[in-house]
Every structure is written in C-alpha cells, then in structure tokens.
Amino acid sequence: MKTMIEVENLTVSYGRGAQKNTAVDGVSFVVREGECVGFIGANGAGKSTTLKTLMGFTYADSGVARVCGHPAGAPEGRREIGYLPEVALYYPFMKARELLELYGTLGGMKKEAFKQRIPEVLELVGLAGHEGELLRTFSKGMQQRLGIAQALITKPELLVLDEVSSGLDPLGRYDLRRILERLTKEGRTIFFSSHELSEVESLCDRVILIDQGKVLREVTREELHAIGQERSLESFFISEVRAGGKDHG
Amino acid sequence: MNKIHLMAIGRGAVLEMLRRKDLAVLGLFMTVYLLFLAAARFVGLETPAAGTFLLNLSLTLIIALAHLLTLLMAARQIPDELERRTLYPLMARPVQRAEILLGKGLASWAVGLAVFAVLLVPTLLLVPRMEAYVPGTLAQTLLLQPVALGMTASVALCFSLLFPRVLAVFLSGLLVFAAGMLVRLPLLAVLSRWLPDPGRLNLVLRYTDGIGPLSAADFLSLTVSGLLWSGLFLAAACRIFQERSV
C-alpha cells in the first residue's frame, strides 16, 4: 500500500535563542493510501504545526516529512492534496463560484471542468444554490463548509484537514461526518486534526495522540472501540496526556 | 513561472480592488478631478503661466494617485492574506511562492497603470496648451511611468514582508514620494545616485517647462535603473517570502 504521508523524527521550533519554542519534537508516523487518520491533541500540542510543515508552510529544524512521495512543500506533491486550514475567512469580495474557480485553476483544473465540478462540490457540502453569493454574507459555518469544498475541488487523493469541525454547529458536524465517510469509501486518504473525540471514534482507522510536540500513542479503530466499552474516550485521552503515554504500549 | 497561475492570482487582487470601497473613493476623486478640469476650461485661463501650472498640477496629481494606489494595493496583499488565513489554501496548491508574489505585484502595477491611463486622456484633452511643449518629452514621461509604477509595486511588496503594515506603507511612501527631497539633505546627498527613487523617472516638470527630451543614453539609463531596482526589490521579496515560515 502506497505511503501518502511519511514523517520521521520531525522537529519544528519557533523563535530563536532564549525565545526558542519547540512546537514539534521528534514526531514520527505514516499515513497509508486509503486510511483515515485522526491527529488528536490539546491546544498547543503541535497538531497545526505538524500539518503546516507537511504542507510546506513552515520549515522543519530537522527530520523528514514527505507527502505523496515528495518532500513536504514541493509543488508536485501538492497536486494530490486538498488542504483545509484552521478557521480561514475566505475573500469577502469574492463569490463562492469565483473562489472555487481560483483554487481550481491553481490546482490545474481546466475552465470547462468547473461547470460540472463546482455545483457538485457545493452540493456535497450543503451549499448548493449559494455559488453566486458574496462570501461576506456567509456565516462562520458556511465559510467552513466552503473551506471543505475548496479542499475537494480538484478531487485530491489526500485530504489534510486542520480542525475540520471548527465553527460547525451540530448539524454541520453531522453533515461533515457523512462527507468524510463518503470520501473514505471512495478510497481517499484523510488526515485530520481535531479536538472532537467523537469524530475520530466514528471515522478513523487510526488515531495519533500528540501532546507537547511528542506523539504519545497510536490507537487503531479496534483499540478505540475496546477502550470505548470500558470508559469514555475523553477520560482515556486525559489519562494518556497526563501519563505522557508511558504506561501504555 | 506559470502564466495561468499569475493571471488567476492577479485577477483575485484586481477583483478585490474593484469590489472594495476603494473604487467608490477613486470614482469620486475622478469625478471631482474631471469637473475641475472642465471648469478650468470653461472659465478659461488668462495667462500661459496659469495654463502651464494647471498642466503641471494635473499630471503630477494623476501620477501621484497612480503611485499611491499601486503602493497601497501592493502593501496590503500579503498581510491581508495572512490576517484572513487565506494564504494557506493558496499555498496549498501546486504554485510557487514567487508566483503568488509576482501575481499580486503585477495586479497592483496594472491597476496603477490603468488609473493613470484613464485619467491621462481627459487631462491631455481638457487642459489647454498655451505654451509650446515638446511632444518627445511627453512621450518619455509617459513611457517611464510603467517603469516607475513597477518600482513602487515591488518596493511596497518587499517592505510589506519586512515591516508591520503601517510602517511598510510609511517607508514605501517615503521612498516613492520623498526620496528626491531626502537626498537633498546634507547627510543623505551621497546617496542621491544610489537611492531607488521612482521620482527620478517623473519628467513632468521637464515637459511643462518646455525642455526637450532626454538623450537616448539618459533615457535608457533611467529605464534600466528603474527596471533593475524593480527586479532587485522583487527578488528580495521572493527570497524573504520563500524562506519565511508562515
């Protein structure tokens, strides 16, 4: 099975000298083709920094990060990726259609393909009929749905989603789960960060727990279900973070 | 560089300009300006000196406006993208960081140039020429403006990556509008040949004073220096942007 994401001993820090703050500290993991992997951790655990490094927005101090067989940040690798940033406010002066055309064009789509793909992707995220509206009129939840649409516009093989359910109401979260399930069934690889434990339980083949820049533990879907029988996922997560993953193997 | 990428990114920046309040402000200014020119023509100018003054004022005004627009537009491109966090989905596409910068720089340049061109036509048509001016000097004045606007766009883009937004606009403005004055200060006089000064490419005064065109060598030297400075600032901006974690 093809390896879509490969991270080995990745270290990323911000600042210099005494101000230096190590956000990601020797993280290693892989995500294979067709997998849905959740990246879970508290605020400041290093989730977004890892994702940003994978996308080439942030540079690593050391270690290896490869996406779709290319070094992180290489334009060739990004052809196969759909990325959702954590809480973006899309251009208020653009219409939904124009935004998707912009990202589609940059992703290598031909103009003729937009006619079919834009309504299709807007329908998928529950924004059908909004394509001619200016984004300044969109609510936070609609912006997040549009964010998912822009990530999907070029039919990428790999989806990297940062805090995917951020800004969504319960109905939005339900819809999102259905979308991700559908994409997983289609064979897409999904790697997403989230605070929502219920989300990862229902969707993921595997969960990677991260805290203070280090991977604490990787848990498979089966293990997650077994844990869920005994106690809540929340208490499992808290105990893992407090124990620093030492008492689990 | 991918032309399709540059066009798509540039189109986004132009769309922003067209749909923001800037266009309404610009439209208002243009209307007032055209009314002013029409009034001046209707009332009539009594002396050739008044005509020359009006021509000088009008050309200086439209050049300043074009540079101001280019500067403000270029200086806000990357800071706005960072603030809205829209830089991430943009950079997540298979585009180079330099393409993002260049696309936005070209859009800022094109908007400034379009405004200059649109205002130039009524200026040349409505302002009465009461003295003999040399057409060759006007041609050089017009040909140097795209180069000067390119300098303004690249300076503003570069400074916007180095300094906080307000400081970037202030420093770019200082260089674009006041470098000519700064180099007259005793301590800075030594810099006069080396400071990137788009004002040196402005030949309006030469034209309205009725002086003939620059020699081909001088004109070429100004053009090349303008292009070189633009290239240098753009290259610096690309390097800074490329090396920065965002």
**pLDDT tens digits for A192-219?**
998 777 777 778 889 999 999 999 999 9
CB atoms within 10 A of CB B145: 25
Rounded Cα–Cα distance for residues A191 and A204 (Å): 9
Q: Do residues A205 and A33 touch, judged by C-beta distance below 8 A?
A: no
pLDDT tens readout for residues A102-126: 999 999 999 899 989 999 999 999 9
CB atoms within 10 A of CB B65: 18
Interface A-B, measured as beta-carbon pairs within 8 A, has a size of 82
Region A168-193 average pLDDT: 88
Q: State the Cα angle at A219 between A218 and A220, rounded to 5°.
A: 125
pLDDT tens readout for residues B44-94: 777 888 888 888 999 999 999 999 999 999 999 999 999 999 999 999 999
Rounded Cα–Cα distance for residues A71 and A76 (Å): 9
B94 touches chain A (CB under 8 A): yes
Which of B5, B20, B92 has its CB closest to that of A83? B92
Region A128-155 average pLDDT: 93
Are B85 and A88 a contacting pair at CB < 8 A? yes
Q: Is A56 helix (H, G, I), strand (E, B) or coil?
A: coil
Q: Do residues B135 and B213 touch, judged by C-beta distance below 8 A?
A: no
**Tokens found for residue B23:** 């266009």
Residue appearing with tokens 């500067």: B71
Q: Which residues contact B76 (CB under 8 A, 6 or more apart)?
A: B160, B165
Q: Which of B9, B76, B80, B93 has the most A C-beta neighbours within 10 Å, making it the best mutation to test the interface with A?
A: B93
Of A3-7, A24-28, B124-128, B164-168, where does mean pLDDT reach its minimum? B124-128
B186 touches chain A (CB under 8 A): no
Are B246 and A57 a contacting pair at CB < 8 A? yes
Region A209-237 average pLDDT: 85
**Tokens found for residue B62:** 């439209």
Which of B16, B84, B246 has its CB closest to that of A88? B84
Q: Which of A106, A135, A160 has the most B C-beta neighbours within 10 Å, making it the best mutation to test the interface with B?
A: A106
Chain A residues near residue B12 by CB distance under 8 angstroms: 91, 94, 102
Q: How confident is the prediction for chain A on average, in pLDDT?
A: 89
Q: How confident is the prediction for chain B on average, in pLDDT?
A: 90
Q: Is B13 helix (H, G, I), strand (E, B) or coil?
A: helix
A58 touches chain B (CB under 8 A): yes
Are A106 and B5 a contacting pair at CB < 8 A? yes
Q: Tell me the shortest Cα–Cα distance from A102 to chain B, in angstroms.
A: 6
Please tell me whether the interface predicted TM-score (ipTM) of this complex is above 0.85: yes
Q: Do residues B134 and B204 touch, judged by C-beta distance below 8 A?
A: no
Rounded Cα–Cα distance for residues A105 and A10 (Å): 32
pLDDT tens readout for residues B196-208: 788 889 999 999 9
Are B12 and A94 a contacting pair at CB < 8 A? yes
Are B16 and A83 a contacting pair at CB < 8 A? no
Scanning A76-95 for CB atoms below 8 A from B yields: 76, 78-79, 81-91, 93-94
B101 touches chain A (CB under 8 A): no
Q: What pLDDT is attached to residue A249?
A: 42
Which of A78, A89, A151 has its CB closest to that of B85? A89
